[in-house]
Amino acid sequence: MPKLLVPVDGSENSDRAVDFVIKKAGWCREPVEIHLLNVQPPIVSGNVTMFISQEQLNDYYQEEGLKALQSARAKLDAAKVPYRHHILVGDPAETIARYAKEQGCDQILMGTRGLGTVTSLLLGSVATKVIHLADVPVLLVK
């Protein structure tokens, strides 16, 4: 069973990647295992933990992650394509590449740009970094 990782951030580009995965799942003869992944950047400004408990911080990451996953999950649910969703905290590109390796994913499918504030001329900075870090093929959907 092919295992596909689809990192999403709630952007139009990540939605297009999900649309492509839905089509790709229909092309396969065998079932496809889809992992939706949202990576929340860690809050590292000052002594945040002096004012906010770790539990509150974890709740915040979970809430923001679910918001980012909402559109992708709705698309997959409407297409009746099974999936698993995950929310992790860390550097987005490093976390995506590490998750793909740890879970034995066969391919990463992602949008060319996300919601990040730092971008390069042709590709988003996260997509560029994932290409360099990942041990599996990365398919960018424009």
Q: Where are the domains of the chain?
A: 3-141
Look at residue 24 in the predicted model and tell me its pLDDT: 82
The tally of CA atoms less than 13 A away on the side-chain side of residue 47 is 2
**Which of the following CATH numbers is that of domain 3-141: 3.40.50.620, 3.40.1080.10, 3.40.1190.20, 3.40.1210.10?**
3.40.50.620
3-state helix, strand, coil in the chain (%, to 5): 45, 20, 35
Q: What are phi and psi of 58, to 5 degrees?
A: -60, -40
Question: pLDDT tens for residues 32-70?
Answer: 899 999 999 988 666 766 778 888 889 999 999 999 999
Beta bridge partners of 39: 88
Residues facing 38 on adjacent strands: 87
> What per-residue confidence (pLDDT) applies to 124?
63
d(CA 57, CA 124): 27
Cross-strand bridge partners of residue 111: 141
Query: Quick count: other Cβ atoms within 10 Å of Cβ 25?
Result: 19
Whether the pLDDT of residue 113 is over 90: the answer is: no
Give 120's pLDDT tier (boundaries 50, 70, 90): very low
Q: How confident is the model at residue 117 (pLDDT cuts 50, 70, 90)?
A: very low
Strand order in the sheet with 3-7: 84-89, 33-40, 3-7, 107-111, 138-141
